[in-house]
Structure 1
Amino acid sequence: MSIGNSPEDDRNSPADDRPSIGRVLQQARIAAGLTVDEVSSSTRVRIPIVHAIEEDDFSRCGGDVYARGHIRTLARAVGLDPAALVDQYDAEHGGRPAPTPAAPLFEAERIRPEPRRPNWTAAMVAAIVAVVGFVGYTAFSGNDERSNGGTVAEGPAPSKKTTSPKPTKTKPAADPKPVPSESAIAGVPADKVTVILVADDKSWISVKGHDGKSIFDGFLEKGDKKTFQDDEKIELVLGNAGPIELWVNGKKIEDTFEEGAVERLSYSKGDPEAG
Structure 2
Amino acid sequence: MITKVKVDELVNFLNLEIKRKLEGKLDSAYIVGSYTQGKISLVRPDINWLLVHKNPIQDETRWELGEILTEAIDKFINDFVVRPELRPFKFSYPIKRGEDVFVNVSIVTNASSPDEFKHINNFIPGYVFEGFKSTRSLIFGEDTLKDIDFQVTKKSVHDDAVNKLVSHKIQLDRVPLVYHMKKDTDLIFNESLSHGKNLLYYGVELLMSDEELENKKYIDIFSNSDLIIDFYKNRLPDTLNYVKEIVSSKANFDAWKGNPKKARGLYLTVSAFSKLLFRII
> Structure 1 or 2: larger helix share?
2
Larger Rg belongs to: 1
Pairwise same-fold verdict (TM > 0.5) = no
Q: Which has the higher contact order (CA 8 A, sep 6+)?
A: 2
* TM-score between both structures, scaled by the size of structure 1: 0.22
